[in-house]
């Protein structure tokens, strides 16, 4: 089936590798993904075969197969068939994710890269003044001694921290600083920079939940989350934005502090600002240098300035245009970003100051009498409770499943911190008897808009930081964004020869994504996120996509490819009114467009009232004495901007210096 699909998708175009090689690539890819997702993909492929005609499809010529795919998948408005159509991305990953076994040197002549005129970082010329040499630095990696083997799992510890990402690592460091023995439980594996490569397919399979294919229950939205020691901080873009900050956040945007107070979660802006300061200082957060985002980043800002100049909307006039602040630091030759463009598969150069290079290193440092330890490849499944004299629950122990088999129960002498991520923490608490958990989940939803620059233009957006600049309009954001070949092929819309030619123009492409809020629309059910956006969100999405399309054209693009399932093309001769009308017609329901989110938050929201929230103002689970939640799940409503820094600051605010466990 995979071979037949590949032959049809590339019909009448010269493939750089054979369809048989695509099959081999995907078979290997599926073996690298943990959990049930590979079985789900296989079922989807069987469903795809049935939809396309079963044996008739396999026996047909590639030309006939192409017609069947176009009629039944590309042009369908039936929800089930639109969902099935998304499996196209899997086939494209098998083609554009081709990799010769080994590291970069073995792939200098990779036929896919040659076909796209793409160079791996080690091949790039960095001899010009101001350029940064591509060099690996592994001195900040966590060492083996901070990990607990599966044969040496302790029976008890002072504090169990579930999750090693933005919230868990900050909490673990705070707990260790107060002299408590902490054990950090992480479902994913340890991938220090020395283990990371530019093999996109393998790294995506190993570092992401469900191999980067996790979706909402109805498959409308892809939800990217890290499943690795350090959590999503390992595979994100290091963006550090506060919920509210003069000059960096739109002045007329929703005041999240006021919203939270109205909902019953009055968080002190002064208190959280102090935690923001502490986190930024530890992570050496600063504005990125312009050389790291030299083409795609300025394209967005230049295009926006032209758009705002001719706009009569006051929000366009007051929109924030800025370069991102990130946790790549300090600015020394061995730690500054070398803009390889592979942030989302981890930094093999050791430049990102993610949780392993910062708070986890601090928590596990040997200078302290009781250094924290990390138990990776272990999933917490339930918190066991004892009953206190006051009728409140006491977190007494945690059940865990070890990868490869085996179960353990670890006793917590002093308490438990839950920080497994918004979705996993909600599932864990619900399975532990906290039945309010898992409601009011928000997403920041992203949708990419790719554009083609004129012939003869060499943008080479792949030779820079993936995300460099942004526009905050108050109701939505636009962020510059680009990807290496495999991920870009799954992001670029289109079918058959259209998609093929767009990828052949890889070095002429520019790209940005719109980011808009889906506030408290989701809840967990049977372990899955159920979230459906409505007309309110679709109207905002149409307007945001139309705006970004106009920005592209105003800065010289000749064609624009929004992330629509049908893969339509917009051209530079279209008027602004025609662009608006196009999106009104093209986007009727969520299935018409490809959406993703890397920022799930909520599910265990803060609230003074135990009937309205899961945790109190100190982020302690209501009606418990010693169980705290320190990840993004505590956020009562959508914060609209990237959630990484706020997650860390909320964890710091709740745990640092507070002596929650005595």
Mean pLDDT, the chain, integer:
95
CB within 8 Å of 255: residues ≥ 6 apart: 244
592/448 same-domain check: yes
Q: What is the pLDDT of residue 404?
A: 87
291-329 residue pLDDT tens: 999 999 999 999 999 999 999 999 999 999 999 999 998
Identify the three-state secondary structure at position 40.
helix
| Cis preceding-peptide flag for 330 (omega within 30 of 0) | yes
Q: What is the pLDDT of residue 50?
A: 86
210 falls in which pLDDT band (50, 70, 90)? very high
Please tell me the distance from the alpha carbon of residue 312 to that of residue 466, in angstroms, as a whole number. 31
Strand pairing class (407-418; 393-402): antiparallel
Please tell me the distance from the alpha carbon of residue 415 to that of residue 423, in angstroms, as a whole number. 21
410/468 same-domain check: no
Question: How many CB atoms lie under 10 A from the CB of residue 365?
Answer: 13
Identify the three-state secondary structure at position 514.
strand
**Average pLDDT in the 108-122 region?**
97
221-230 as b/e, with b when 16 or more CB fall inside 10 Å? bbbbbbbbbb
651/581 same-domain check: no
Q: Is residue 391 part of a domain?
A: yes
- Provide the domain limits for residue 451: 440-597
CA torsion, points 414, 419, 420, 425, in degrees to nearest 10? 90
Please tell me the distance from the alpha carbon of residue 548 to that of residue 551, in angstroms, as a whole number. 5
- The mean-pLDDT minimum among 1-10, 315-324, 361-370, 618-627 falls in 1-10
444/430 same-domain check: no
Q: What is the pLDDT of residue 569?
A: 98
Q: What is the pLDDT of residue 373?
A: 99
Q: Is residue 645 part of a domain?
A: yes
Q: 32, 63, 98 — which closes off a domain?
A: 98
Are 309 and 493 in contact, with CB atoms under 8 Å apart? no
Q: Is residue 353 part of a domain?
A: yes
589/614 same-domain check: no
Q: Is residue 202 part of a domain?
A: no
Q: Is residue 116 part of a domain?
A: no
Q: 62, 79, 98 — which closes off a domain?
A: 98
404/457 same-domain check: no
Q: Is residue 205 part of a domain?
A: no
Are 412 and 423 in contact, with CB atoms under 8 Å apart? no
2-20 residue pLDDT tens: 999 999 999 999 999 999 9
**Residue 423 predicted with pLDDT over 80:** yes
Q: What is the pLDDT of residue 41?
A: 83
Number of separate domains in the chain: 3
Alpha carbon of residue 300 to chain centroid? 21
Q: Is residue 50 part of a domain?
A: yes
562/511 same-domain check: yes
**Residue 37 predicted with pLDDT over 90:** no
**Average pLDDT in the 489-502 region?**
96
47/158 same-domain check: no
260/388 same-domain check: yes
Which two structure tokens, joined as six digits, stand for 645? Answer: 């820094």
Q: What is the pLDDT of residue 267?
A: 98
Are 255 and 453 in contact, with CB atoms under 8 Å apart? no
Which two structure tokens, joined as six digits, stand for 375? Answer: 């138990």
Question: How many CB atoms lie under 10 A from the CB of residue 44?
Answer: 16
Q: Is residue 125 part of a domain?
A: no
155 falls in which pLDDT band (50, 70, 90)? very high
455/518 same-domain check: yes
Please tell me the distance from the alpha carbon of residue 74 to that of residue 80, in angstroms, as a whole number. 12
622/492 same-domain check: no
610/583 same-domain check: no
Are 241 and 288 in contact, with CB atoms under 8 Å apart? no
Q: What is the pLDDT of residue 344?
A: 96
76-101 residue pLDDT tens: 777 777 777 788 888 999 999 999 99
161 falls in which pLDDT band (50, 70, 90)? very high
Are 157 and 413 in contact, with CB atoms under 8 Å apart? yes
Q: 561, 578, 597 — which closes off a domain?
A: 597
Residue 378 parent element (H or E): strand 378-387
């Amino acid at each position: 089936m995979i071979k037949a699909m590949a032959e049809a998708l590339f019909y009448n175009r010269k493939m750089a590798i054979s369809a048989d090689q695509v099959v081999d690539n995907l078979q290997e890819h599926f073996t690298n993904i943990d959990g049930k997702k590979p079985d789900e993909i296989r079922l989807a492929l069987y469903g795809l075969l049935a939809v396309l005609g079963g044996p008739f499809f396999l026996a047909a010529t590639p030309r006939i197969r192409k017609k069947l795919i176009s009629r039944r998948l590309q042009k369908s408005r039936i929800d089930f068939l639109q969902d099935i159509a998304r499996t196209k991305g899997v086939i494209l990953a098998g083609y554009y994710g081709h990799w010769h076994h080994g590291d970069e040197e073995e792939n200098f002549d990779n036929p896919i890269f040659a076909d796209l005129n793409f160079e791996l970082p080690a091949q790039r010329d960095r001899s010009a003044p101001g350029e940064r040499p591509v060099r690996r630095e592994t001195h900040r990696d966590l060492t083996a001694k901070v990990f607990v083997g599966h044969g040496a799992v302790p029976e008890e510890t002072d504090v169990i921290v579930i999750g090693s990402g933005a919230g868990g690592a900050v909490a673990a460091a705070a707990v260790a600083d107060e002299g408590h023995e902490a054990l950090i439980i992480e479902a994913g594996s340890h991938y220090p920079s020395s283990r990371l490569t530019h093999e996109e397919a393998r790294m995506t399979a190993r570092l992401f939940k469900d191999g980067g294919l996790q979706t909402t229950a109805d498959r409308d939205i892809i939800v990217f989350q890290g499943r690795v020691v350090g959590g999503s901080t390992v595979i994100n873009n290091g963006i550090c934005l506060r919920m509210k900050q003069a000059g960096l956040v739109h002045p007329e945007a929703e005041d999240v502090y006021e919203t939270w107070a109205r909902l019953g979660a009055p968080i002190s802006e002064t208190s959280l600002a102090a935690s923001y300061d502490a986190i930024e200082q530890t992570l050496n957060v600063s504005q990125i240098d312009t050389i790291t985002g030299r083409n795609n980043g300025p394209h967005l800002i230049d295009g926006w300035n032209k758009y705002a100049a001719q706009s009569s909307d006051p929000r366009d006039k007051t929109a924030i245009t800025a370069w991102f602040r990130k946790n790549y630091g300090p600015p020394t030759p061995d730690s500054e970003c070398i803009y390889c463009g592979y942030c989302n598969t981890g930094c093999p150069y050791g430049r990102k100051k993610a949780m392993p290079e910062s708070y986890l290193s601090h928590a596990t440092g040997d200078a302290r009498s009781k250094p924290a330890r990390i138990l990776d490849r272990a999933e917490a499944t339930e918190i066991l409770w004892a009953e206190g004299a006051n009728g409140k629950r006491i977190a007494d122990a945690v059940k865990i499943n070890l990868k490869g088999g085996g179960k353990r129960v670890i006793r917590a002498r002093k308490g438990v911190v839950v920080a497994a991520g918004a979705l996993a923490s909600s599932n864990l608490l619900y399975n532990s008897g906290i039945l309010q958990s898992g409601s009011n989940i928000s997403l920041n939803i992203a949708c990419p808009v790719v554009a083609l620059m004129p012939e003869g233009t060499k943008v080479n957006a792949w030779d820079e930081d993936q995300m460099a600049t942004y526009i905050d309009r108050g109701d939505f954001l636009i962020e510059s964004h680009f990807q290496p070949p495999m991920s870009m092929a799954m992001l670029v819309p289109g079918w058959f020869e259209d998609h093929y030619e767009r990828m052949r123009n890889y070095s002429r492409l520019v790209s940005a994504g719109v980011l808009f809020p889906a506030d408290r629309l989701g809840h967990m059910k049977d372990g899955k996120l159920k979230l459906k956006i409505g007309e309110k969100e679709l109207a905002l999405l149409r307007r945001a996509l139309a705006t970004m399309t106009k920005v592209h054209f105003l800065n010289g693009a000749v064609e624009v490819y929004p992330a629509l399932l049908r893969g339509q093309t917009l051209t530079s001769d279209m008027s602004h009114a025609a662009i608006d009308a196009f999106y009104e017609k093209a986007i009727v329901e969520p299935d018409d467009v490809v959406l993703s989110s890397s920022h799930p938050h909520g599910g265990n929201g803060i609230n003074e009232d135990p009937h309205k929230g899961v945790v109190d103002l100190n982020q302690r689970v209501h009606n418990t004495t010693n169980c705290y939640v320190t990840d993004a799940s505590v956020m009562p409503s959508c914060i609209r901007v990237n959630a990484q820094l706020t997650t860390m600051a909320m964890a710091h605010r709740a745990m640092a210096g507070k002596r929650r466990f005595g």
